[in-house]
Structure 1
């Protein structure tokens, strides 16, 4: 049992590292609320909140268009990758078929090969079939990138479920499809939400793929739009900070909304 002294020391250490992690974020937010006339590259504290910076950055940076593109791509990737991961993870965890181990380890190669090594041949392949400058040129590759981790994650969770539960459902007449969607998926909610949140963050923050695949202005994603906005406002630090806050806001909101499920999913994965 942890003593009161040890608990206090743990909270102090965690609090110290929390301050280190939050300080840059608070610095960006403080700069975003500073009057543009008083902003600088160093940390500035606003005399009064200047919320107009967000509206100015939103209008000048066309973030409405960029955020819409990011939302379309991210939601599509999260939904499709999650469905495929559930199906693949269930198959690898509960079924036995020829070449299962070889196929699974082949799938795991996706965790080891960096996207930078594939981006050029991928661009030429997608260009040859006419998919560049479309949402599909972002959705399909990022589903493939996420699927290796997602399948591995769901397979490990399904393998941790007692086989007696599955056998009992099958004795009651449930098919494999029914066991998956009526029993396993509902109890895997923490793991599924954690996986979906990680895929959401990776997809939303992806920069290289849109940079290579997209040239049309109305298809650019938020991180790519922020990079161009930065190039146009190199000395307007308040507007840059406001733009960065706008782009980061969806990830922060999703995390705050799902943090309990995220922690529960991480803990269940650690226990198993």
Structure 2
């Protein structure tokens, strides 16, 4: 067997092993969720009579319909605004090379190094002073700010990967910076924007810590944030808890499966290369 063939087989074995390690927790949760309610399953064993109605019970008990609407509102408040600001800032820093851009970029990089947990207490008092505690704005506004360092870095890196000849050709044809941005740069940035939108969606949907600290009303939290209250109230019913967790995870898995090609395309275009 050739060296290339051996490397291919080894690579496939590594991928299969990683896939099994990744799927094992999901399979364990699914097998637990299908057990009779009130039982305490041990290990991974497929039930002889799967209780699919546990998912309906978990959906009703956790009031997931209301939480789904709340999560959608929060995502609609975070993702589009973050994309708009990050795209314009990335264009300014990567293409226009605005005065003081290097300082701004270094500050953004510094923001990437700050532990998320260290900002919880300052954010709590800031939202309290603004009168936004226990509202969805207490999640939307901080999340936009917290996502900015990575989002701007992502878009700036993409714009830097676009050949400068394209922008120069547009300038020779009489296009100003705004026209070049809308007519040339934005269409080329669709893969990077799509991948960033998927990441922002996943991060917002899975936001847990901010949701339970800044919002007391579970109906105004994200789906993941409501899981804390769900677990606290029904923590002894492991079956129902696993069913609810899988329901909360399902939309994120579906979104990633649908947009995985755009995500991979953005990576291949050099969106994360420095």
Q: 1:174 to 1:48 in 2, by over 3 A?
A: farther
The answer to whether the aligner puts 1:138 opposite 2:139 as a matched pair is yes
TM-score after normalising by structure 2: 0.93
* Conserved? CA contact 2:109–2:149, under 8 Å: yes
* Conserved? CA contact 2:70–2:221, under 8 Å: yes
Show the counterpart of 2:195.
194
| Rounded Cα–Cα distance in structure 2 between residues aligned with 1:117 and 1:142 | 14
Show the counterpart of 1:36.
37
Show structure 1 runs of 5+ residues with no match. none
| Rounded Cα–Cα distance in structure 1 between residues aligned with 2:172 and 2:51 | 65
Show the counterpart of 1:166.
167
Give the superposed CA RMSD. Answer: 1.8
Deviation, 1:260, is 1.0
* Conserved? CA contact 1:34–1:44, under 8 Å: no
| Rounded Cα–Cα distance in structure 1 between residues aligned with 2:247 and 2:204 | 16
Task: Tell me the SS of whatever aligns to 2:269.
Answer: helix
Deviations 1:1-27 (A, max 9, x none): 972232122111111111111111111
Deviation, 1:256, is 0.4
Deviation, 1:86, is 0.3
| Rounded Cα–Cα distance in structure 2 between residues aligned with 1:189 and 1:41 | 47
| Rounded Cα–Cα distance in structure 2 between residues aligned with 1:93 and 1:238 | 50
| Rounded Cα–Cα distance in structure 2 between residues aligned with 1:225 and 1:211 | 8
Matches within 5 A, 1:97-246: 97-246=98-247
Deviation, 1:106, is 1.4
Show the counterpart of 2:52.
51
* Conserved? CA contact 1:33–1:238, under 8 Å: yes
| Rounded Cα–Cα distance in structure 1 between residues aligned with 2:127 and 2:236 | 38
* Between 65-74 and 11-20, the greater mean CA deviation after superposition: 65-74
Q: 1:128 to 1:4 in 2, by over 3 A?
A: same
Show structure 2 runs of 5+ residues with no match. none
Query: Any runs of at least 4 consecutive aligned residues in structure 1 with deviations exceeding 3 A, and if so which?
Result: none
Task: Tell me the SS of whatever aligns to 1:50.
Answer: coil
Deviation, 1:70, is 1.6
| Corresponding pairs, count | 272
| Rounded Cα–Cα distance in structure 1 between residues aligned with 2:205 and 2:45 | 28
Q: 1:171 to 1:62 in 2, by over 3 A?
A: same
* Conserved? CA contact 1:190–1:265, under 8 Å: yes
| Rounded Cα–Cα distance in structure 1 between residues aligned with 2:146 and 2:201 | 12
| Rounded Cα–Cα distance in structure 1 between residues aligned with 2:21 and 2:44 | 15
Task: Tell me the SS of whatever aligns to 1:260.
Answer: helix
Deviation, 1:170, is 1.9
* Conserved? CA contact 1:69–1:219, under 8 Å: yes
* Conserved? CA contact 2:155–2:192, under 8 Å: yes
* Conserved? CA contact 1:137–1:213, under 8 Å: yes
* Between 192-201 and 238-247, the greater mean CA deviation after superposition: 192-201
Deviations 1:91-148 (A, max 9, x none): 0011133322112111222211122212212211221121111111100100001110
